[in-house]
Amino acid sequence: MSRPLARLFLSAALLSGLSLTAHAAEVANAAAAQPVPATPTLVTGLPDFSNLIDKVGPAVVNIRTTERVTRGQGAPGEEEMQEFLRRFFGGQMPTPRGRRAPPGQGGQEEQVARGVGSGFIISQDGFVLTNAHVVEGADEVTVTLTDRREFKAKVLGADRRSDVALLKLAANNLPYLRTGDSSKIRVGEWVVAIGSPFNLDNTVTAGIISAKSRDTGEYLPLIQSDVAVNPGNSGGPLINMRGEVIGINSQIATLSGAYNGISFAVPIDEVMRVADQLKTTGKVTRGRLGVQISEVTKDVAESLGLGKARGAEVSMVEAGGPAEKGGIKVGDIILKFNGQPIETTRDLPRLVGATKVGTRATVTVWRRGAQLDVPVTIVELQEERSPTARPTPKKPSPGAAPNALGLVVTDISPAQRGELGVDGGVLVENADGSAATAGIRPGDVISQVGNTAVANAAQFNALVAKLDPKKPVALLVRRENVSQYVVVKPRQ
C-alpha cells in the first residue's frame, strides 16, 4: 500500500528546505483523507482471437475411440437406443464391455464407439498429446485433422496419475503447436481452448486463468480457468495469446456433469516431462520415499515447538523402504526435501515423484524439538502395501484409574513390539475424558508425548502427571500401521 499523501507532502517540503505551516498541515491532512487517485486504465477493449485460431487451429485434432465387444440378441429396441445415444451424445454414453450373448442365442464381435475427445499435434512427424482417460480401454484410436484427413493412432503410453497420453500418427509435415512455459502464466491473462465438446469438433472457447497451482486432490497442481470445457474437450490444448500450449484441458468442477464456470488443465511443463518418458519407455517412472504422511495442524505445530503449521507429518514408514533405511521415523515432521520447503503435505509427493530413481536426496525433519538432515536414496514408486492388523487391547486392569488425560495404558510385550515394528510406546487399554474426545481408543499405541519418546507405562504416566493442565499436548498415536499426532488437553 502506498504511503499517505501527508507523508509525501512532508518529504517534499523537507527536501526543498521549507517547513510546513499550520495551514499547510491542515491541507495535507485533508488530502490524506481522500481516496487514492485511480490509476490509468490498464485494460482496454477485448481481444480478437481470429488470427490466433487461424494459426493454431489446424494442429488441434478430434479423437474417436472404439472397443471390440461381443454382442448378443438384446432387448427389443436396445440397439436403436444405443445408436441414438451415440449420435446425439457424441459417443459419451457408457458401453457394456465384453458383453456375452445369452446361452443359445449366439453373438458376434464388433467395434463399438466408446467416446470422443480432443488432442493436439506437438511435432511435424505426428506425435499427439491427449488425456489418458480419453484413450483408456480403447482398442482403436482414430485421429481426425481439421482438413478431414484421418489416421489410426498408436498409443505409445498413458499415465493415469497425470492424465497424459502420447499417441503417434504415421504421417509427416503435419501442423503442430509450440509449447509454452506454464510456470510463467499469470492469473487474469486470456486463454483459449479448442476441442470437440459433444463431438462438435474445432469448437473454440475463451476465458481467463482463474488460479495457478490449484490443488484438487490429484497428484499435480492444476491450472484453473473459466474457459468453457465440456465432455469431448478432454485432451485439447489450453493456449495463451502467443499461440503456445500451456496446458491440457482435463477436468471440470460440476454438479450437473456439464460446464459450470470452472475448468482445470494439466500444466504443460509436467505434461512434457511425462511425454518424454512415454516416448522413451512407454511408461512414467516416479520416485518414492516410502512414507505415509498427514497434514500438520496448528495445534500440533505449536505443541511440538514448530511455530506455524508447515511440513508433512510422517504417519507410517514402510518396512525396508528408503525412508526406513535412511533413518526417517514415525512422528518426524518433514520440513524440506533437497532444500525445498514443504509447506503442505501435497508438496512432498510431487517433489519426490519428480526425483530420478537412485538419486541420493536430503530430507530435513523436525524430531523431538530439533531439526536434522536425513540422507535417503530414492527408489521407484510402487503400489501401496496393505496395512498390518493392530494389536488386540487387553481388558482394563481391575481398579486401574485413568491419568489426567483419561487414559489407562499398559506396556507393550516384546512380541507385540516385533509385530508392530516399534521400539517402545504403550498400549491403550481404556480411553475416557479428553483423550476419548480427541479420538483415542483402546488398542491404540502411544509412542510420544510432546517431543519426548515413550518407553513404558510408568514413564508415560509420569510425563502426563507433569503436564500443564492449561496447555494441550500432542500425543503420537499409532492405529493399525498409521501414526498421527493427536492433541489432547489435560484435565484441570
Structure-block grid coordinates of residue 453: 519418546
Q: Which residues contact 351 (CB under 8 A, 6 or more apart)?
A: 337, 338, 340, 342
Three cell numbers written together for 478:
499409532
Q: What is the pLDDT of residue 344?
A: 86
Helix (H) / strand (E) containing 220 = none
pLDDT of res. 188? 94
User: Which cell is 272 given?
Assistant: 512434457
Query: Domain 49-72+81-99+108-284 belongs to what architecture?
Result: Beta Barrel (2.40)
393 closest CA partner among 329, 459, 330, 440: 440
CATH of 407-488, one of 1.10.3720.10, 3.40.50.300, 2.30.42.10, 3.40.140.10: 2.30.42.10
Nearest alpha carbon to residue 331 among 159, 186, 474:
474
C-alpha angle 319-322-325 in degrees, rounded to nearest 5 = 70
Residue 186 Rama label (left phi>0; alpha psi -120 to 50; beta) = beta
| Residue with the three cell numbers 460440476 | 254
Could you give the residue range(s) of every CATH 2.30.42.10 domain in the chain? 287-380, 407-488
Torsion of CA 203, 208, 214, 219, to 10 degrees: 30
> Judging by beta carbons within 10 Å of its beta carbon (0-12, 13-18, 19+), is residue 432 exposed, middle or buried?
middle
pTM over the 0.85 mark: no
CA dist list (Å): 78 to 93, 137, 379: 14, 23, 51
What residues pair up with 265 in beta bridges, in sequence order?
A: 223, 249
Q: Which CATH architecture has domain 287-380?
A: Roll (2.30)
Alpha carbon distance 94, 65 (integer Å): 12
Are 203 and 196 in contact by the 8 Å Cβ rule? The answer is yes
What's the confidence (pLDDT) of residue 245? 96
Name residues whose C-beta falls within 8 Å of residue 120's C-beta, 6 or more positions apart in sequence.
59, 60, 61, 128, 129, 130, 176, 177, 194, 236, 237, 245
pLDDT at 186: 95
What pLDDT sits at residue 121?
97
Query: Using alpha carbons only, how large is the chain's radius of gyration in Å?
Result: 31
Q: What is the pLDDT of residue 439?
A: 87
Give CA–CA dist 126/470, Å, rounded: 68
Which residues are known catalytic residues?
A: 133, 163, 234
Q: Which helix (H) or strand (E) holds 303?
A: helix 298-303
* DSSP sequence for 388-425: PPPPPPPPPPTTPPP-TTSEEEEEPPHHHHHHHT-SS-
Q: Which of 359, 360, 304, 358 is nearest to 335 (CA)?
A: 304
pLDDT per residue of the chain (492 residues) written in tens, 0 to 9: 444 333 333 333 333 333 434 454 554 455 455 665 666 666 667 889 999 999 999 999 999 998 877 665 455 455 555 544 443 444 444 444 444 444 445 556 666 767 889 999 999 999 999 999 999 988 999 999 999 999 999 999 999 989 999 999 999 999 999 999 998 999 999 999 999 998 898 999 999 999 998 876 666 789 999 999 988 999 999 999 999 999 999 988 877 666 788 999 999 999 999 999 999 999 999 999 999 898 899 999 998 998 889 999 998 888 889 999 999 999 999 999 999 999 988 889 889 988 999 999 999 999 999 999 999 999 998 654 444 444 555 555 555 688 888 899 998 888 877 777 777 889 999 888 888 888 888 988 998 998 998 989 899 999 988 888 888 899 999 887 788 899 988 776
E runs forming strands in 311-369: 312-317, 333-337, 340-341, 360-367
C-alpha cell at 269: 511443463
Q: How many separate helices (H) and strands (E) can be counted in the chain?
A: 12, 27
- Strands 190-195 vs 237-240: parallel, antiparallel or unpaired: antiparallel
In this structure, the number of other CB atoms found within 10 A of the CB of residue 392 comes to 9
pLDDT value of residue 388: 44
Task: Please state, in angstroms and as integers, the Cα–Cα distance from residue 340 to each residue in 82, 181, 286, 361, 486, following that order.
Answer: 53, 21, 18, 11, 27
* Angle, CA of 69, 256 and 231, to the nearest 5°: 45
Residue 244's contacts (CB-CB under 8 Å, 6 or more residues apart) are 177, 178, 179, 180, 181
236 in Cβ contact with 196 (< 8 Å): yes
Asked if 64 contacts 91 with a C-beta cutoff of 8 angstroms, the reply is yes
Which three three-digit cell numbers place residue 128? 499427439
**Separation of first and last alpha carbons in the chain:** 47
Residue 162 and residue 266 in contact, taking contact as beta carbons nearer than 8 Å: yes
Task: Look up residue 408 and give its three cell numbers.
Answer: 489407562
Q: What is the pLDDT of residue 89?
A: 41
* Residue count of the chain: 492
The predicted structure's pLDDT at residue 118: 95
Q: What is the distance between the alpha carbons of residues 298 and 24, in angstroms, rounded to a whole number? A: 50
Instruction: Delimit the CATH 2.40.10.120 region(s) of the chain.
Output: 49-72+81-99+108-284
Strand intervals (E) in 122-226: 127-130, 140-144, 150-159, 164-168, 178-179, 190-195, 203-214, 222-225
Measured CA to CA in angstroms, residue 62 lies from 198, 286, 350 at distances of 11, 30, 31
